[in-house]
A and B are shown apart, each in its own frame.
Chain A
Amino acid sequence: MNTSPADRYARQVLHWGEAMQHRIMQSTLLIAGVGGLGATVAQLMARGGVGKLYLVDDGELDWPDLNRQTLYGEQDIGRKKVQVAAERLAAINSTIQIIPLDSRINRQREWPSDLTAVADCLDNWPSRFALYNTTSAGCWFVHGGLQGDQGQILTLKTGTSQPLDEIFTGCTQPQGSIPVTPDAAAILAGMMAGELFQALGGTPRLLDRILVVGLEDFHCSILNV
């Protein structure tokens, strides 16, 4: 069973128009990490019709993941997340390309050359810095992070913006597991997806600006970098 793009994307085209939809469908996005942020970001980008999605993660699904990682269920425990994510996304939208990469992220890694944007949905600073520094110049780089019910989103243009590892120099991982609620992960991921669609359309709203989100009192503020 199939349908035309005009039918599938009718509701969003009413909002952002056909030109924007065309750009999204011509885009290639690498989603680094398909966990709390990345599973939902990947799902929304697939639903929105991004032409090609690379999914990068080397993790296997574990029970503490299920509270917020919206692509997975109990039957997936122990399976590679990128494989399950690729299956679920293909079931949501079979008209896009989905390429799972079961890979660690380090400074030796090389990425495909056709990327329009990178979504940093990772859960630790060393991997984020390695991801940024291995992304080629001229790419939109949308960073997301969260802890408890606080989070942030930032868009950079590689080669032009302040590098991610310069902005966040000195940040190290907290000891132990990081607290993350189901709602915070979904809300931040939804906002990240909104920014990614805008970046793919060529008009990011958070270029060199950190959106700081506090869900405790539904507060948002902007920090220029």
Chain B
Amino acid sequence: MIQVEFYSLLRLLLKQEKLTLPWKKEITVEQLLKQVQSAIPIPFLDKLIDADGRLHPGTIILVDRRNIHHLDLLQTKIRDGAVIALFPPGAGG
């Protein structure tokens, strides 16, 4: 199983806190996000990735607590049991 968690404005937008997907084979973060998008009727992928396949700066993606910027970005491999968190943090103070 893979657990995808939505925080802050993404939780509000998608009206859910998490989505659990069955683990079939090793996939990348990019492939996972597309699977999530096809499982959820509300468009959100364009808030994470631009048309050229680059990450938007407003949301951090953590795979098992680690920011994918310190892994292989969107090509980071997802293992069975992984927890993926999508979190757009507040920037102000």
Contact = CB atoms under 8 A, between A and B. Distances in A.
Contacts of A219: 11
Interface in B52-93: 55, 57-58, 60, 62, 65-67, 69-70, 85, 87, 89-93
Nearest to B5: A223
Interface residues of B, number: 24
Interface size class of A (residues with CB under 8 A): 35 or more
A74 B70 CA distance: 46
Interface string A63-77: 000000000000000
A204 to B, nearest CB: 18
A38 B5 CA distance: 30
Contact of B93 (A121, A166, A223, A225): A121
A216 interface: yes
Given A152-B89, A178-B90, A212-B87, 6 more contacts: A152-B8, A152-B90, A162-B66, A167-B60, A169-B60, A171-B60
Interface of B: 5, 7-9, 11-12, 17, 55, 57-58, 60, 62, 65-67, 69-70, 85, 87, 89-93
